[in-house]
Amino acid sequence: MLFKNNAYQMQGIPLLDIAKQFGTPLYVYDTSVMQVQYKKLIEAFPKTRIKLKYAAKALSNIEVLKYMRSLGAGLDAVSIQEVELGLLAGFTPDEIMYTPNGVSFDEIKEGVDIGVTLNIDNISVLEQFGNTYQGSVPVCIRINPHLMAGGNPKISTGHIDSKFGISILQTRHLLRVIETYKLKVVGLHMHTGSDILDAEVFLNGAKLLFDLAKELPQLEFIDFGSGFKVPYHASDVQVDITDLGKKISKAFNEFCQTYGRPLELWFEPGKYLVSEAGVLLVKTNVVKTTPATVFAGVDSGLNHLIRPMMYDAYHDIVNISNTQGTKRVYSIVGYICETDTFGWDRQLHEITEGDILAIKNAGAYGYSMASNYNSRFRPAEVLVLEGKPYLIRKRETLDDLTRNQVPITKN
């Protein structure tokens, strides 16, 4: 989203025009931003056999998945349904990494039958895998390195209390299981969480994975997950992806020399690729003054964007209907019968009822975490591709809410 000629635009199209054409609330995604972010990551790892697996959980619309594949990405799926969406988007099974957590073994077998790369994060499940497949199916293993990523425990997945991964402290047990079942371990994986700024987080985890990798002669890749920080606030520090890439590439390539052959370096970016590409457009329903606060109430809420309520996440908000007016202080709130505040005490150009507001950095974990709470409809989605807006998901209707409800019929 760029501000040009006194208007907020996406690929030269005024966002107000998009809102008028498709209505609000509306998610809008800019493919040119996705492309820039993808290229930055690829170019940050020179002389390295790098593969990016797009994290479908961040934004799983099939047209977005297709676009990611057109850029050259593979797919990181965390459910069998995401696997199936990936197949519908054109990914081949060998392009998909499937990392389930806490699922039944039937879902694991389903992934094997499809032919995706399985990433297992539990010794018990690994033993079931060994009993069932007797080393005939290659597997990746997810390790919990016990490293805290970023400053928010709600989005950290590599600490000692996390449910994700096999503890690095269980290495000896893990190796015995691998040997007993003659497992063909082709990959090692870790993911420590989000908002990572420092290469040291990856490098500290890498040292642990490299030590374990020396015990596994059939490796084809090492997957460092993702979690690269993107700026949400104007004052946020952004990850220096070039510096991070050089440091990780150096350590990885040196390890490959020690290992005796080149391996592939995998990452699973989601937020980094799509967060800044997306905005949520909402209409101001009411401006309400109380003794303490001026509220701007909009036609959306935590049912469409839960991150501010769930993670205390900051999203910048701008009034795209009034880009030059006097700035006043507002709290932007939703229409849900809960506390669903998008932003407290924000300075915005004066808001009047009917104005369109844009909530920035809404591309990741926005629509994909949306719900029908309060029986509200989920919004439409638009993808801006090559200078044109395309509707890629229709706004829900009452038929969508009732489609799977079954009336009682008495004999």
pLDDT for position 154: 47
Alpha helices in 45-164 (DSSP H): 62-71, 80-88, 105-114, 123-133
d(C-alpha 196, C-alpha 372), whole Å: 32
Amino acid at the residue 32: S
pLDDT at 191 over 70: yes
Amino acid at the residue 220: E
DSSP classification of residue 50: E
156 or 294: which leads in pLDDT: 294
Instruction: Report residue 161: phi and psi, to 5°.
Output: -95, 5
pLDDT at 174 over 90: yes
User: Mean pLDDT, to the nearest integer, of 382-396?
Assistant: 98
d(C-alpha 229, C-alpha 194), whole Å: 7
For this structure, is 140 an active site residue?
A: no
Q: Which of 30-44, 58-72, 137-151, 291-305 has the lowest mean pLDDT?
A: 137-151
Q: What are the E-state strand segments in 270-375? A: 278-289, 294-298, 317-319, 327-333, 341-349, 356-359
d(C-alpha 392, C-alpha 254), whole Å: 44
pLDDT for position 158: 44
pLDDT at 172 over 80: yes
Cα 17 versus chain centre, distance = 28
pLDDT for position 202: 76
DSSP classification of residue 137: S
- At 155, the pLDDT band (50, 70, 90 cuts) reads very low
User: Mean pLDDT, to the nearest integer, of 328-338?
Assistant: 97
Q: Which of 70, 102, 134, 30 is nearest to 362 (CA)?
A: 30
Instruction: Give the CATH H-level superfamily of domain 7-25+278-362+379-395.
Output: Lyase, Ornithine Decarboxylase; Chain A, domain 1 (2.40.37.10)
pLDDT for position 147: 73
Residues 6+ away with beta carbon under 8 Å from 322:
349, 350, 351, 352, 355
- At 257, the pLDDT band (50, 70, 90 cuts) reads very high
Segment 102-115, tens digit of pLDDT: 999 999 999 999 99
- At 365, the pLDDT band (50, 70, 90 cuts) reads very high
Please name the residue that has the structure tokens 């500290």: 204
Q: At what angle do helices 80-88 and 62-71 cross, to 10 degrees?
A: 70
Q: Note whether 102 and 150 are within 8 A (CB).
A: no
pLDDT at 93 over 80: yes
Residues 6+ away with beta carbon under 8 Å from 402:
none
Residue 222: its H or E element: strand 221-223
Choosing from 337, 398, 406, 408, which is the catalytic residue? 337
pLDDT mean across residues, the chain: 93
Please state which CATH class domain 31-274 belongs to.
alpha beta
Separation in Å, CA 409 to CA 401, 403, 406? 20, 17, 9
Percent of the chain with pLDDT over 70: 94
Q: Is the dihedral of CA 211, 215, 221, 225 positive or negative?
A: negative
Top mean pLDDT of 235-239, 311-315, 328-332 is at 328-332
User: Mean pLDDT, to the nearest integer, of 119-139?
Assistant: 95
d(C-alpha 386, C-alpha 117), whole Å: 33
Instruction: Report residue 244: phi and psi, to 5°.
Output: -60, -45
210 or 201: which leads in pLDDT: 210
Segment 24-80, tens digit of pLDDT: 999 999 999 999 999 999 999 988 999 999 999 999 999 999 999 999 999 999 999
pLDDT for position 148: 55
Separation in Å, CA 355 to CA 28, 167, 243, 375? 17, 51, 42, 24
Q: In the chain, list all ranges with CATH 3.20.20.10.
A: 31-274
Pairing mode, strands 96-98 and 327-333: unpaired
pLDDT for position 196: 58
The reply to whether the predicted model has a pTM over 0.85 is yes
Q: In the chain, list all ranges with CATH 2.40.37.10.
A: 7-25+278-362+379-395
Residue 142: its H or E element: strand 139-144
Instruction: Report residue 178: phi and psi, to 5°.
Output: -60, -45
